Structure 1
Amino acid sequence: MLKVRYSPDIEEKYFDVIADSKADKFNGLTFKEYYNKNYKKILQFDLKEILCGDFEKLLSIKNKIGKKNNNSVKSFFNYDKSKINKQNPLISKLQPKISKFFEQNVEVHTCYYCNIDFINIFKKQNELKNGFTLDHVLEKAEYPYFALSLYNLVPSCYVCNSKVKDSKIPFDNFSPTNKNFDFNEKVKFKSFITNYNLQIKKEDDFNIRLIENFSNVYDKYIESLNLDNRYNYHKYKVLEMIEKRRKYPDSRIEELANLTNQSVEDIKQDLFSIYIKKELHIRPLSKLLKDISKELGLI
């Protein structure tokens, strides 16, 4: 739903973290050195292209290599320490190291897939913890050589990653890690409020859905994450906004702005929690609130 943001130097930082990793089974070699010695001929690409290529690059690699049901490759690009057909991984559990990297280098506030739940970083006994899981857009079971790839990992909530995301539906170009991911621009929440006097008193009086303008390329994305059904639970937020909008027409908002010596935008943000001045990924449901705010003539 929301595009993942990266710092300009993140690829170099990430490559150094993984490429310099060592394991006893590498016989003193680094991850990069072991790859060049044993796997480059098999996969045909430089390690940096696999680990740090942008999402479009990953798709081109996928199209050339295809699915790789190779236990040796799975064991080398091991993410979570799981054994592959009784074969021990060559390097044990890189997931904690990668999660720590995301904590330090990627903004994690709400789930990038759904924008419903917080996945933020917090402290426990002076140690940083996080509420996110890292979802593999291109499934590591089918494309194990992407198990550690930076742009194949989406910081997401447990529900999106483990409960609803349908791995049978190909995400491909629709990954929030893709620079061309424009879900927020193309897809909007619509309330289907037909009563322009806002005479709506309960949630059953209206419906909300995600509607794409002029195309339907994101339909499978919405279906895979069950977004329409999940957001139906949050119709109460829309109802609250409708009720407030009845109480605070534009004339009343302007009056409050004059009385408090604030801008009209600040009053709207305080009253309706639109977060006009903040990025959408900072707060849960922010896309819903912003899209419905446009329907209600608030922005």
Structure 2
Amino acid sequence: MIRIVIDKDQKEKIEKIYRRWFNKHLDSFKEVVDKDEKLKNIIFGENEYNEKDLLYFLLMDTESLKIVKEKCDVNNTIFLKEETIGYLTKRYENFRSSQAAKIVEELKILSCPYCNQIGMITYQKDGKRKFTGELDHYYSKSKYPELMICLYNLIPACRVCNGLKKEKNEKIINPYDISYKSNITFKTTFDDECKLDYLFGKSDHFKIEIDKNKLSDEDFNEIDLFHLEKRYEQSKNYAQEIILKSMAYDPIYNEKISKMFNENPEEKLNQYLYGYRDDHLKRSFSKFNQDIINEFKGRKE
């Protein structure tokens, strides 16, 4: 639902973290590749083993990941050796425990990109960085073990969403793919008999829904896979607070508060009053809050 947008500086930092970690395992990885023809072919094709192609493979962008995934599909009758899968699993587990928190911290991800409901934090314990979320394999590690430790196949996610995604094989967008923009938008619907109380944030006789007008197949798959509409139905208290504030704050008050902000005063004011950020990954429910205030801001005008 929320794309993970990485600037040039962040990309350099997280890939440096990854390379520093992987360099410790170069020798053992080469031994594994030399013994497994399928993995060798997937990574190097007809070329000989070389570190440049290996790092390119491990740090592939989302489009290249898709191409390699399709190559794996073509060769799905040829399996990696059990020893290879065991080795990659150990490398992944080591990366998850020792490096994931560092990556997430550099990306400043504080909320799950799949649901934007559940927060994820990093913290220090026993001299190591820890991470309260999980890493989802966008392409399943059970079906595509070849991609198990590719950096941009590992999506920081909450445990709820990671668990739900493991249950199904729905086609959704990789959050690292910034070429795609989610069209998922939340809105409220109400019972006409309760309209006045609803508009003043005094009634909970309304529903939280997702606008279905402009959704792609991938959007519908995300909604279904992560139960987004059902999960956000339970967020009426967030919507009520926004509705109440949208009616309570008059233009004079808004003008006084907006003077606190030097740049983009209206945008900053809305973030301050209604609890959302342009970078939704830095705050849980931020996307939902923004959608609801946009709905009621329009009604007031």
**How big is each residue's C-alpha offset from its partner over 1:40-81, in whole Å with a ceiling of 9 and x where there is no partner?**
554412333442111221121111122464323312321478
Aligned to 1:61: 68
Aligned to 1:150: 151
- Distance in 2, matches of 1:248 and 1:104, equals 36
Note if contact 2:5-2:178 (Cα within 8 Å) is conserved in structure 1: no
- Distance in 2, matches of 1:226 and 1:127, equals 34
Aligned to 1:88: none
- Distance in 1, matches of 2:21 and 2:128, equals 20
Note if contact 2:246-2:293 (Cα within 8 Å) is conserved in structure 1: no
Structure 1 residues 290 and 80, CA gap change in structure 2 (3 angstroms) = same
Structure 1 residue corresponding to 2:276, chosen from 259, 262, 274? 274
- Distance in 2, matches of 1:77 and 1:261, equals 52
Alignment-mate amino acid for residue 76 of structure 1: Y
- Distance in 1, matches of 2:85 and 2:159, equals 24
C-alpha root-mean-square deviation of aligned residues, in Å? 3.0
**How big is each residue's C-alpha offset from its partner over 1:229-262, in whole Å with a ceiling of 9 and x where there is no partner?**
11111111001111222222435533x448x766
1:123 Cα deviation from its structure 2 partner: 2.9
Aligned to 1:290: 290
Higher RCO, Cα 8 Å, sep 6+: 2
Unaligned runs of 5+ in 2: 45-53
Structure 1 position 114 matched with structure 2 position 115: yes
1:18 Cα deviation from its structure 2 partner: 2.0
Aligned to 1:89: none
* TM-score normalised to structure 1 length: 0.78
Aligned to 2:86: 75
Aligned to 1:86: none
Structure 1 residues 296 and 249, CA gap change in structure 2 (3 angstroms) = farther
- Distance in 2, matches of 1:261 and 1:283, equals 22
Aligned to 2:11: 8
Aligned to 2:58: 51
Structure 1 residues 40 and 12, CA gap change in structure 2 (3 angstroms) = farther
**How big is each residue's C-alpha offset from its partner over 1:241-294, in whole Å with a ceiling of 9 and x where there is no partner?**
11222222435533x448x7665555443332233xx52111110000111111
Structure 1 residues 269 and 123, CA gap change in structure 2 (3 angstroms) = same
Note if contact 1:5-1:107 (Cα within 8 Å) is conserved in structure 2: no
Q: Which moved more, 1:38-47 or 1:288-297?
A: 38-47
Note if contact 1:257-1:267 (Cα within 8 Å) is conserved in structure 2: yes
Aligned to 1:18: 22
Q: Which moved more, 1:188-197 or 1:152-161?
A: 188-197
Structure 1 residues 35 and 292, CA gap change in structure 2 (3 angstroms) = same
- Distance in 2, matches of 1:98 and 1:76, equals 17
Q: Which moved more, 1:152-161 or 1:243-252?
A: 243-252
Aligned to 1:210: 210
- Distance in 2, matches of 1:19 and 1:210, equals 46
Q: How does 1:216-235 map to 2 (within 5 A)?
A: 216-217=216-217, 218-235=219-236
- 1:123 partner SS: strand
Bigger helix share: 2
- Percent same amino acid among aligned pairs? 23
- Distance in 1, matches of 2:248 and 2:101, equals 46
Note if contact 1:274-1:293 (Cα within 8 Å) is conserved in structure 2: no
Q: How does 1:86-97 map to 2 (within 5 A)?
A: 93-97=94-98
